[in-house]
Amino acid sequence: MADITNQSLNEIIENVKTKKISSRELTKAYIKNIENAKKLNAFVTTTFDQALENAKQFDNKPNFDQLLPGIPLAVKDLFCTENTKTTAGSNILNNFIPSYESTVTKNLWGNGSFLLGKLNCDEFAMGSSNETSHYGNVINPVGDQLVPGGSSGGSSSALAADLTPATIGTDTGGSIRQPASFTGTVGLKPTYGLCSRWGIVAFASSLDQAGPMTKTIKDCAIMLESMSGFDEKDSTSINKKKEQYSKNLKDNIKGLKIGIPKEYRVDNMPKEIDELWEKGKNILKDLGAQLIDISLPHTKYALPTYYIVAPAEASSNLARYDGVRYGYRSKQGKDLIEMYEKTRSEGFGDEVKRRILIGTYVLSSGYYDAYYLKAQKVRQLIKKDFDDSFKKIDAILTPSTPSSAFKIGEKTNDPVSMYLNDIFTVPVNLAGLPALSLPAGVDKKGYPLGLQLIGKALDEQKILNIGYAFEKNCGFKNEIKKWWS
Amino acid sequence: MSKEKFDYFIKGEKGKYEVVIGLEVHAQVSSKSKLFSGSSTKFGADPNNQVSLIDSAFPGMLPVINEECVKQAVRTGLGLNAKINNYSVFDRKNYFYADLPQGYQISQYKNPIVGEGKVLLDMPYGSKEIGIERLHLEQDAGKSIHDMDPSNTYVDLNRSGIALMEIVSKPDLRSPDEVNAYIKKLRSIMRYLGTCDGNMQEGSLRADVNVSVRKEGDKNFGTRCEIKNVNSIKFMQMAIEYEATRQVELIENGKEIDQETRLFDTKKNETRSMRSKEDAHDYRYFPDPDLLPLKLEQKLIDDLKISLPELPDKKKERFIKEYGLNAYEANILVSEKEISDYYEEVAKLSDKKLAATWMMGDLFAMLNDKGLDISKSPISAKNFAELVQSIKTGEISGRIAKEVFEIMVESGDNPKKIIESKGMKQQSDPKELEKMINEILSKNKDKVDQYKAGKEKLFGFFVGQVMKLSGGKANPQLTNEILKKLLKG
C-alpha cells in the first residue's frame, strides 16, 4: 500500500484492524522513516529490535479490540521505560536504565501498543526550543533551521515528520502545546491529575502533566483514553471513572459559549497571531458557538508566578541527582561535598543550573515569603479568575503561542525572551486546567500557528469536541516536505 | 510519703542557676511499612534489603502516605492529651547528604498533625505538668557507615523513609531527673498505645536536647544550645549536666553563650560545637507538591479516641481506688503496660495489697537481677498469685515464702506443689504448737524464770527456739500468741 505513515493514527488503526497492514509492516515503515531522518535528531534511543519482536507477537496473536492494536509509539524520554535507557535529555542520566515502567506508558502498552524509541527533549523538560538537551538540538521538519518547540520537541518533530503515528509529551508550562503549535500538530495538556505522574522524571510536581500529541483531534481522544486513569501510586491522581473520549467525540458545538479573554492580546503581538485568533473566533461563531468577552485580570502575573513556582519545585526535585545511587558520577572529587559539586556541575546543563539557582533562591529563608509564598497566593488568584469565568462559559479560545517557530540559536542567549514563549500556556498549568493546542493556520513564512482551547477541570471531552468541529471547518493542512531524507 | 523540695541548681561563684531543658524526641512509629512506601520496617535486616524505589529516590517515584502511620500519630497525640489537627501539611526539608536519597526529608513544618498537649510527671516533690508543643510526622534518613572501609563510606537505606514522630516539649523541664521521668513517661504512654516500642538500643527513641541556664528567679530564658541525637537517658543526663555547667562557667566569666548545635561525646563526657547559628542549614522548607494536605475526618479521630486503651495516669487512679494501693505503689505498677497487666492478673486471684508488696519487692528484684522484662518472668502471674495467697492464708510464712519463691524461679513450678512436696507448709495447728512450746519451756526453765522476773527480751529467744525446732514452719503469729499465754501461766 501507499505510504501509511502519513496517515492519522485513527486511519492506521483501521488499516491494522481490517488487516490491510500488519503490525510488523507498520513498524518497519516507521523504522525506515526514522533511519532516514537522523538529521532531525528527534530520537535519543531507538528500540527497533524489541519493537519488531512486539509487532511479531501482535501479528501472531492479534487483539483488535484494543484501543491501540499493534501500534508502535515513540515517547518523550522523560517517561521511565523498563530496561530502556531514560535520559530526560540530561547528561546526569546518560546511563540510567529504569527497572520500572511509568504508569502512563504502561497504560499505552496495555492497550496494545509498544515502544519504538525514546524522543529527545529539553533537559529535564526545561526549555521552549529543545536547545537545552544534552543530546543536541532537534530540528523542526517545517524548516531546516527551525526549532521544534519545547520541551517536547523530539515528540513534535517526530510526529510531524511521520516518525511515529502519535506520541506523548509532558506539559509543565506549555511543553506539549507550544511544540504542537510550532509543528502544525495537536497537543493536549489534560487536567492536572488525569494522567499519573508515577514514573515520569519530575520537573515541577504541582504543574507536570503528561498528555497526547497527535495529528488529529480523533487521534488525541484515542491517545488520551489510552494513557489516562487513576493511579493509587500518585497521591495527586484524580479518582474518577474512565471516559471514552474517542467514542463520545461530537462535532456539534451549537450554543456553546466561548470566552475570549482580553488579557491575551499582549503588547507587540504579531499581527498574524491576532488575525489567526480572529479566524478562529469566526469559525466557532459560524459553527453556532457564542463568543463572550471575558476578563482574566491576573493573567499578567502568570509568567513571573510560574518562573518562581516551577524552579522552586525543580530545585528540590533535582536534588536526588547526586551521583550516589544511579546516573552520572564525576570521577573527580576528594570527598562527598566535592563529589556532589563536580557531579552536578558536569551532569547538568546551563538552563537546568539556572533554574536550580532561581528555585534555591526563592525558597531561601528571608526570601520565601516575598517570592514563593506570594507566588502561591497569586496562583490562587489566577485559578480564581478561571473559576469565575467558567461559571458563564464552556471554554476559552486564545492563541497558543505569541509567534511561530523561531530559528535555532535565535533566543538561546536571552532566557527572558525564551520564557515569554510560554505566556499563553502557563496560566493553564498554574490553574490545573485542560488545554488543547490546535493547528489553525500559517504565518506569512508558511510556518504553522496554533490556537488554544482551555476547558474546565475534567472537561476534556468538551474541548475535544470543539476542536473536532474546528478541525473539520478550519481547512488547515500540514504541508511538510520531507527535505531531510 | 514525705514530699521533698525541688533542688537542682548549678552552683556558680555568683549564685545558683536554674537549668531550663526542652526535648525534641524522635520516636519511631510502630508500623509494618514505611511512612511513604511499602518497604518493611523490621529491625536487623541485612543492609539495603528493605529499600524500595521510593526510599532510594529513583526518578519519577512518588510518596503515598501510609494511613496506619497517620493513625499512630493521632493515637499518640490523644495519649498526650493534645489537640489533633484536622488539617496538616507535609513539607520538604532540603539538604544534601549521602544517606538522604531524595535530597530532602519529608517532614511537617508549619502545620503539624498534632498541636499542644501535656504530660504529667510524678516527682518526689509532687506532680509536675510538662507542656507538649507539637508532634509531627517525618521520614527517617538512612545510615552512613564510615568504618567499614578506609577510603569509602557505605550507606544503608533500610531506615530511609521509616516513619518518625517528633515530639517537641515546651522548655518546662528543670533537671536531669525530670528528663528521666519525662522520657520514661513518654515511652510508657507510647508503649501502652502500641505506637512506638521505645527501644532505645535499636534507635526507636532518640532525642535532641535543648539546654539553657538562668540565675535562680530570672524570668527570661538564657541562650540555648541544642545537643543533637542523644540515644540514652543516661547520656542525656550526662550531657545536660556537662552543658549546664559549661554555660554557667561562661556566664560567670563574663562570656557570651553562642546559640549553636552541639554533639555529645560519650567517651569524653563532654559536648562539642557542631555548627554555629551562622552556619545553620537553610532547609528551604516548602509544602511537598507530591502530597496533598492531610485532612482528617473528625469521625476518624473520635473513633481512635474511643478505641484507646487505658493509659498510665487513668490506670494509676483506678489502682488506688480499686486495689487500695498508695500513690507510690500505683505509680510503679502502671509504669509499664506489661507490669500492670501482670499485677492485675495477680490481684484478681490474691490479696491485692500483699501482691503489690511482693511484686515490687522480690519479683522486681529477681527480674532486675536477671535482666528480664516481666513478660519473660520465670514465674507466671497465676503461680505468683498462689504464692501470695499462701502467705495471706498463713499456709506458709514470709520466710518460707522466700524459699518457695527461689524454687519457683528455678523450676517454674506451682507453689502449692513445691510446698506440698517439700513439706514446707506452715505449722498452724495450736495443739501441735503448744506441745512444741511446752517442750521448749520445760527444757529452759532458768530462762522462763528470768523472763518472768522481768527480762522480757528473752521472748525473742523462745520464738527462735520454736522456729528452730519446727524447721522454720511454725506460724509466727500463733507462736507469739501461744508463747505469751504459756509464759504468763
Q: What is the DSSP string of A153-191?
A: HHHHHHHHTTSSSSEEEE-SSSTTHHHHHHHT-EEEEPP
A18: contact with B, CB 8 A cutoff: no
Q: How many residues does chain B have?
A: 489
From the candidates A175, A228, A246, A315, which is the catalytic residue?
Answer: A175
Pairing outcome for strands B270-276 and B10-12: unpaired
Show residues of chain B in contact with A364, CB under 8 Å: 282, 284
Q: What average pLDDT does the structure give for chain A? A: 96
CB contact under 8 A, A232 and B284: no
Band (pLDDT 50/70/90 cuts) for residue A1 is low
Residue of B nearest to A234 (CA): B62
Torsion of Cα atoms, B315 then B317 then B318 then B320, to 10°: 120
Helix (H, G, I), strand (E, B) or coil at A212: strand
d(CA A351, CA A363): 18
Point out the residue among A96, A316, A372 whose CB comes nearest to the CB of B94: A316
For residue B64, what are the contacts with CB-CB under 8 A and spacing of at least 6? A232, A233, A234, A235, B36, B37
- Alpha-carbon dihedral sign for residues B261, B264, B270, B272: negative
From the candidates A23, A113, A128, A151, which is the catalytic residue?
Answer: A151
The answer to ipTM > 0.90 is yes
d(CA A79, CA A224): 16
Show residues of chain A in contact with B288, CB under 8 Å: 205
Point out the residue among B98, B102, B155 whose CB comes nearest to the CB of A319: B102
For residue B284, what are the contacts with CB-CB under 8 A and spacing of at least 6? A315, A316, A360, A363, A364, A365, A368, B92, B94
| Nearest CA-CA distance, residue B102 and chain A, Å | 5
* CB-CB contact of A23 with A57 (8 Å): no
Show residues of chain B in contact with A99, CB under 8 Å: 53
Q: Which contacts of A274-278 are long-range, i.e. CB under 8 A and separated by 24 or more positions?
A: A276/A399, A276/A440, A276/A441, A276/A449, A276/A451, A277/A397, A277/A398, A277/A399, A277/A451
Q: What is the pLDDT of residues A126-166, one digit of tens each?
A: 999 999 999 999 999 999 899 999 999 999 999 999 999 99
Judging by beta carbons within 10 Å of its beta carbon (0-12, 13-18, 19+), is residue B364 exposed, middle or buried? middle
- The predicted structure's pLDDT at residue A77: 98
Output b/e per residue, A386-402; b: 16+ Cβ within 10 A.
beebbeebbbbbbbbbb
233-272 of A, contacting B, C-beta below 8 A: 233-236
Band (pLDDT 50/70/90 cuts) for residue B432 is confident
- The predicted structure's pLDDT at residue A33: 97
Task: Based on the residue annotation, tell me whether A175 is a catalytic residue of this protein.
Answer: yes
User: Rounded to whole angstroms, what are the CA distances from A182 to A170, A224, A267, A338, A451?
Assistant: 16, 21, 21, 42, 11
CB contact under 8 A, A235 and B291: yes
Strand order in the sheet with A290-294: A167-170, A210-214, A186-189, A435-442, A448-455, A395-399, A257-261, A290-294
CB contact under 8 A, B59 and A93: yes
Q: What is the pLDDT of residues A164-196, one digit of tens each?
A: 999 999 999 999 999 999 999 999 999 999 999
The DSSP secondary-structure symbol of B362 reads I
The DSSP secondary-structure symbol of B33 reads B
Grid coordinates representing B375?
513478660
CB contact under 8 A, B155 and A324: yes
Q: What is the pLDDT of residues B286-341, one digit of tens each?
A: 999 999 999 999 999 999 999 999 999 999 999 999 999 999 999 999 999 999 99
B98: contact with A, CB 8 A cutoff: yes
Task: Based on the residue annotation, tell me whether A157 is a catalytic residue of this protein.
Answer: no
Q: What is the pLDDT of residues B162-204, one digit of tens each?
A: 999 999 999 999 999 999 999 999 999 999 999 999 998 888 9
**Strand ranges, E, within A234-304:** 257-261, 290-294
65-94 of A, contacting B, C-beta below 8 A: 80, 86, 88, 93
Band (pLDDT 50/70/90 cuts) for residue B2 is low
Pairing outcome for strands B91-94 and B87-88: unpaired
Q: What is the DSSP string of A42-106?
A: -EEEE-HHHHHHHHHHHHHS--TTSSSTT-EEEEETTB-BTTB---TT-GGGTT---SS--HHHH
Superfamily assignment of A1-232+239-485 in CATH? Amidase signature (AS) domain (3.90.1300.10)
- Alpha-carbon dihedral sign for residues B456, B457, B459, B461: negative
Helix (H, G, I), strand (E, B) or coil at B22: strand
* CB-CB contact of B227 with B211 (8 Å): yes
Please give the backbone phi and psi of residue B296, each rounded to the nearest 5 degrees, phi first: -105, 130
Grid coordinates representing A362?
526563592
CA within 13 Å, CB half, B207: 29
- Fold designation for B430-488: Arc Repressor Mutant, subunit A (1.10.10)
Point out the residue among B62, B286, B291 whose CB comes nearest to the CB of A198: B62
d(CA A26, CA A242): 29
Task: Give percent of chain B with pLDDT exceeding 70.
Answer: 99
Quote the radius of gyration of chain A (alpha carbons, Å): 21
53-92 of B, contacting A, C-beta below 8 A: 53, 56-65, 92
| Nearest CA-CA distance, residue A320 and chain B, Å | 5
Show residues of chain A in contact with B56, CB under 8 Å: 325
B286: contact with A, CB 8 A cutoff: yes
Q: Is the peptide bond before A151 cis (omega within 30 degrees of 0)?
A: yes
CB contact under 8 A, A206 and B155: no
The answer, yes or no, to whether residue B246 has pLDDT greater than 90, is yes
CA within 13 Å, CB half, B484: 6
User: Rounded to whole angstroms, what are the CA distances from A265 to A182, A273, A304, A352?
Assistant: 19, 9, 18, 31
* CB-CB contact of B186 with B170 (8 Å): no
Torsion of Cα atoms, B93 then B94 then B97 then B101, to 10°: 80
Show residues of chain A in contact with B109, CB under 8 Å: none
For residue A286, what are the contacts with CB-CB under 8 A and spacing of at least 6? A473
H/E stretch holding B248 reads helix B233-252
Q: Which contacts of A468-473 are long-range, i.e. CB under 8 A and separated by 24 or more positions?
A: A468/A217, A468/A218, A468/A221, A468/A249, A468/A250, A468/A251, A469/A251, A469/A252, A469/A253, A469/A284, A469/A287, A470/A280, A470/A283, A470/A284, A470/A287, A470/A438, A470/A440, A471/A216, A471/A217, A471/A438, A472/A251, A473/A283, A473/A286, A473/A287
Show residues of chain B in contact with A100, CB under 8 Å: 53, 58
The answer, yes or no, to whether residue A261 has pLDDT greater than 50, is yes
Show the DSSP H helices in A195-301 as ranges: 217-227, 271-286
* Residue to test with chain A: of B91, B154, B284, B292, most A Cβ within 10 A: B284
B38: contact with A, CB 8 A cutoff: no
d(CA A441, CA A475): 8
| Nearest CA-CA distance, residue B329 and chain A, Å | 50
CA within 13 Å, CB half, A75: 32
Domain ranges of chain B: 22-211+279-305, 310-421, 430-488
Show the DSSP H helices in A321-395 as ranges: 336-347, 350-363, 374-389
| Nearest CA-CA distance, residue B80 and chain A, Å | 30
Q: What integer is the mean pLDDT of A35-44?
A: 98
B280: contact with A, CB 8 A cutoff: no
Residue with cell 541562650: B223
Residue of A nearest to B291 (CA): A235
Please give the backbone phi and psi of residue B280, each rounded to the nearest 5 degrees, phi first: -55, 140
Point out the residue among A232, A324, A360 whose CB comes nearest to the CB of B64: A232
Cα angle at A232 between A229 and A235, to 5 degrees?
A: 100
- If one counts every other C-beta atom within 10 angstroms of the C-beta of residue A230, the result is 15
- The predicted structure's pLDDT at residue A250: 97
Residue of B nearest to A199 (CA): B60
The DSSP secondary-structure symbol of B2 reads P
CB contact under 8 A, B62 and A372: no
Q: What is the pLDDT of residues A364-373, one digit of tens each?
A: 999 999 999 9
Q: What is the pLDDT of residues A307-335, one digit of tens each?
A: 999 999 999 999 999 999 999 999 988 88
Task: Based on the residue annotation, tell me whether A151 is a catalytic residue of this protein.
Answer: yes
- Alpha-carbon dihedral sign for residues B108, B110, B113, B116: positive
Count of A-B CB contacts under 8 Å: 96
CA within 13 Å, CB half, B245: 10
Paired residues of A293 in beta bridges? A260
Q: What average pLDDT does the structure give for chain B? A: 93
Show residues of chain A in contact with B53, CB under 8 Å: 99-100
Please give the backbone phi and psi of residue B329, each rounded to the nearest 5 degrees, phi first: -65, -50
Paired residues of A291 in beta bridges? A258
* CB-CB contact of A86 with B59 (8 Å): yes
Band (pLDDT 50/70/90 cuts) for residue B1 is very low
Q: What integer is the mean pLDDT of B28-35?
A: 97
Q: What is the pLDDT of residues B125-167, one digit of tens each?
A: 999 999 999 999 999 999 999 888 988 889 999 999 999 999 9
d(CA B156, CA B48): 5
d(CA A288, CA A290): 7
Domain ranges of chain A: 1-232+239-485
